[in-house]
Amino acid sequence: MASKSVFAHAYAVVMAGGSGTRFWPLSRRKHPKQLLELFGPGTLLEQTVERLRPLIPPERIYIYTNETVLPEVRRRLPRIPRAQIVAEPASRNTAPTLGVAAHEICRRDPQGLMVVLPADHIISKPAEFLRVLRAGGEVAEKEDCSVVIGLKPTRPDTGFGYVRIGAGETKTGGQKIYRVENFTEKPPLAIARKYVASGRYLWNGGMFIWRASTLLENFAKYQPKMADQLARLALAGGPRSPKNFRRLFPQFEKISIDFAIMEKISDIHAVSADIGWNDVGSWAVVYDLTTKDGEANVRPEHSMCLDSRGNMIVSKKKFVVTVGVHDLVIVETDDALLVCPRDRSQDVGKAVQALEKAGRKELL
């Protein structure tokens, strides 16, 4: 187990800027995936913050989101200082965001340990999750390296980054730790199949641990232009100076931390994690993770399914009746209705793109 001193210097950076278009029509620009209550009490964002409570208090948690949802995020997370809920004026992917966060943490604590987490995943084994964070924090602190939380693949999937692990392993806090040999972001399906079959790869779920100073050193080495921009922004006050932040942040290149840094650095360790993780990427995943009735339907109490099986129904107001339909997703809101085969729910994002192209902004 990591010593208490390690997490006395730990800061969480929660990435909450995504749109979650595959959960349309429930998910909208002003009410994205991370602000949906899909599993139990609280939104996915609130659940993410709550999981951190035993290790990292609210005063050391930063939330990075967008200006559209800032009021709702503040309302949902009243215990986090308002200055630490940062609304980005433009979408620039994860590399600039994490660079800004690293400067903020180093300003407060030059020894600050940075725990990076997405806001829209579920983790069904919270105690194991905390053990993984402790082990990863100890390795990042002791080795002064970057740590990725690696997840065992359950299928070949082109939506995740893959981490190739070395043959040797050590243990820290009861967790398996590997040296990372290679880091590949979202490979084609044929390559993903080879990776999974080899048994030498873990998924990258976007969860990282490193000293904030280590990340800034890597920016200086591998992204010098962005490192200079980050330094100028920090000198101008960073997010604590809203006027300068709105002026300078949109000038960053739009690039993920995976492409900008992780694929380039050599000193990476992976913690092999079994934490009941799921990125909840579609309505079909929600169906898989939700309790079903006797005919394998997921539906509200105010509904009726006759000769219908395997359907996912979401409706807050209308009484929904199905007759003789199978394996559908049916999602109803005040102004829209989605009907699609459950095995096509990954394509709901394409419908959002089509609505945007058609100029139907009121539905986005």
Q: What is the pLDDT of residue 3?
A: 47
Q: Rounded to whole angstroms, how far apart are CA atoms 327 and 309?
A: 6
* pLDDT-above-70 percentage for the chain: 99
> Whole domain around residue 93: which residue ranges?
4-278
Give pLDDT, residue 2: 46
Whether residue 1 has pLDDT greater than 60: no
Total length of the chain = 364
Q: What is the pLDDT of residues 335-347, one digit of tens each?
A: 999 999 999 998 9
Residues 264 and 317 in one domain: no
Q: How confident is the model at residue 5 (pLDDT cuts 50, 70, 90)?
A: low
DSSP 289-356: HS---TTS-B--SSEEEES-BS-EEEESSSPEEEES-BSEEEEE-SS-EEEEEGGGGGGHHHHHHHHH
Percent of the chain with pLDDT over 90: 84
Structural domain ending residue among the three candidates 225, 243, 278? 278
The reply to whether 215 and 90 lie within a common domain is: yes
The answer on 293 and 264 residing in a single domain is: no
The tens digit of pLDDT for each residue in 121-170 reads: 999 999 999 999 999 999 999 989 999 999 989 889 888 889 999 977 88
Average pLDDT over residues 203-231: 97
Confidence of residue 34 (pLDDT cuts 50, 70, 90): very high
pLDDT in tens, 238-252: 999 999 999 999 999
pTM score: 0.93
Q: What amino acid is encoded at 351 in this protein?
A: A
The answer to whether the beta carbons of residues 209 and 133 sit under 8 Å apart is: yes
Residues 274 and 349 in one domain: no
Of the residues 278, 306, 339, which one is the last residue of a structural domain? 278
What residues form DSSP beta bridges with 177? Answer: 170, 271
Exposure letters 288-298 (e unless 16+ CB within 10 A, then b): eeeeeeeeebb
121 plus 58 within the same structural domain? yes
Q: What pLDDT does residue 13 have?
A: 98
Letter string b/e over residues 345-358, b meaning 16 or more CB atoms within 10 A of that residue's CB? beebbebbeebeee
Domain-ending residue, one of 223, 250, 278: 278
